Amino acid sequence: MKRLLIILVFLPFLSWGQYFFQYKADLQRVDSTGFYNIFLPPVVTSKLNYKFSDIRIYDSRGKEIPYIRDTEKNRFKTARRAKLRIIQNEHKTAKKYTVVMIHNPDQKTFSNFAFIIRNTDAQIWVNISASNDLKNWQILKNNVRYQKEFSDSATAQLLINDLPESNYQYYRVIFFDYNREPIIILNAYTYFVEKRRRDYVEVPHPMFFQDDTSEPQKTIVKIVFKHPQYIDKIAFKIQSPEYYLRSAELTTRDTSTGKKIRLQYYFNNQKNFYLCSDSSNVLLLSRYYAKELYLVVDNNNNEPLVFKDIRAYQVKEHLIAKLERGLHYTVKFGNQNIPAPIYDLRYFINKIPRKRPEITVVNIVKLSNPKTENKRLYIKPIYLWTALGVVLVIMIIISVIIFTKYKSDELT
């Protein structure tokens, strides 16, 4: 009876195993034990979430191997940190978000923000927009999830280090709590860092379709990738005319849902720039995720541009991990809902050799049967309530028996 009671009490809390991932791949075998750069090709990164955090490394014994993302390589250790002026910091209880307005009167160039927040376990979704007049706003980040840094204290740092460089006078940052505990912002900073040379890798070549007739004096080029890709750079090769200087904008089609059930589609301006016969016509983005892009070129009274080729690139992505000779390693990835891993290895970055051999991911397969990967026990709520009811009944019966026996002993 005692064992049965214990099982029933703890039955709702039984859970084991690993997270379910959608994909699995092998790592190339290593010749010696040591730290390696693990190159993640676009076919892998395109299946990751925005923070590239839903990937894990396992050895042949099933042990999870800690890693560090190369792009996170202590970029800000020796950088100068400057405090930013917050002119609005308000939590909207009814709307479930906190809005912070940052003033940049000297129009310094920013590429990152570091917010000191009251420590919370809530998921943090962020919108960032910028303006010079508080009327016309340019979207820099749209509903993107970020992970705060690990902290044992009452505060933690939320680092957003993937912003496109800009020098607007005002930045509006909205932190959504989505019915969880409020996101309390205490201070805001930026890090001024030295620019690093970035290595790019080409993503699978997109198709493009040019339309010179739908809108007067405009050319619309639809750019289509076979699968959604993270894009950090896009290059346009123009065949003719010989001389040109045209304003253009790169847009994508987003969806927005409000109180209405139906989806509303609109064009979201992403980047304004110029196409010029004297330039390389390369546009830098910041991990822009899209399957379709639209390039809108203003021809004025000129003949339309003739596009010969369009290529897209992303920043080369690596994981740094210590691997042992003789062991087989696999990576599992593709799950938008799992949190970012927290490994002690990141505190010992200075002990990792700067020169490391590179290996890559091979033999990518889709995991079609969740039951083989997800070992978590699922119990329907009705069974949980039934078990709880049984436990309560048993406890009442035991209490009555003990009470009755106690009273009878008193009488005798």
- The 10s digit of each residue's pLDDT in 340-351 is 888 988 878 888
pLDDT of 50 higher than 80: no
pLDDT tens for 249-269 read 888 765 443 333 233 333 444
| Report for 68-77, 315-324, 392-401: range of highest mean pLDDT | 315-324
Rounded-to-integer distance, Cα 15 and Cα 219, Å = 56
CB of 374 closer than 8 Å to CB of 20: yes
- Give the residue, 67 or 347, on which the prediction is more confident: 67
Range name among 105-119, 186-200, 353-367 with the lowest pLDDT average: 186-200
CB of 328 closer than 8 Å to CB of 29: yes
What pLDDT sits at residue 189?
93
pLDDT of 412 higher than 80: no
Instruction: State the average pLDDT over residues 46-75.
Output: 82
- Contacts of residue 394, defined as CB under 8 A and 6 or more positions apart, other chains included, come to 1, 4, 5, 8
What pLDDT sits at residue 392?
82
Nearest Cα to 176, choosing from 138, 212, 131, 128? Answer: 128
pLDDT of 330 higher than 90: yes
pLDDT of 233 higher than 70: yes
Rounded-to-integer distance, Cα 219 and Cα 299, Å = 7
Rounded-to-integer distance, Cα 384 and Cα 396, Å = 18
Question: Is residue 375 very low, low, confident or very high in pLDDT (cuts 50, 70, 90)?
Answer: very low
Instruction: State the average pLDDT over residues 98-102.
Output: 94
Instruction: State the average pLDDT over residues 25-33.
Output: 93
Rounded mean pLDDT of the chain?
80
Distances (CA, A) of 132 to 101, 139, 190, 207, 227: 12, 13, 19, 36, 36
What pLDDT sits at residue 381?
59
pLDDT of 205 higher than 90: yes
Q: What is the dihedral of CA 385, 388, 394, 395, to 10 degrees?
A: -140
pLDDT tens for 115-141 read 999 877 766 888 999 999 998 888 888
Rounded-to-integer distance, Cα 186 and Cα 71, Å = 27
What pLDDT sits at residue 196?
59
What pLDDT sits at residue 24?
93
What pLDDT sits at residue 263?
30
What pLDDT sits at residue 289?
85
What pLDDT sits at residue 261?
29
What pLDDT sits at residue 411?
56
Category of 281 on φ-ψ map: left (φ > 0), alpha (ψ -120 to 50) or beta = left
Name the pairing type of β-strands 358-366 and 200-202.
unpaired
What pLDDT sits at residue 16?
38
**For the chain, percent of residues with pLDDT exceeding 70:** 79
Residue with token string 């930045």: 171
pLDDT of 408 higher than 80: no
pLDDT of 282 higher than 70: yes
Instruction: State the average pLDDT over residues 368-391.
Output: 60
What pLDDT sits at residue 369?
57
Question: Is residue 232 very low, low, confident or very high in pLDDT (cuts 50, 70, 90)?
Answer: confident
145 pairs with which residues across the strands? 125
pLDDT tens for 161-179 read 778 788 899 999 999 876 6
What pLDDT sits at residue 11?
43
Instruction: State the average pLDDT over residues 50-58.
Output: 87
Range name among 200-204, 231-235, 408-412 with the lowest pLDDT average: 408-412
Rounded-to-integer distance, Cα 290 and Cα 282, Å = 18
Tokens of 412: 């005798």
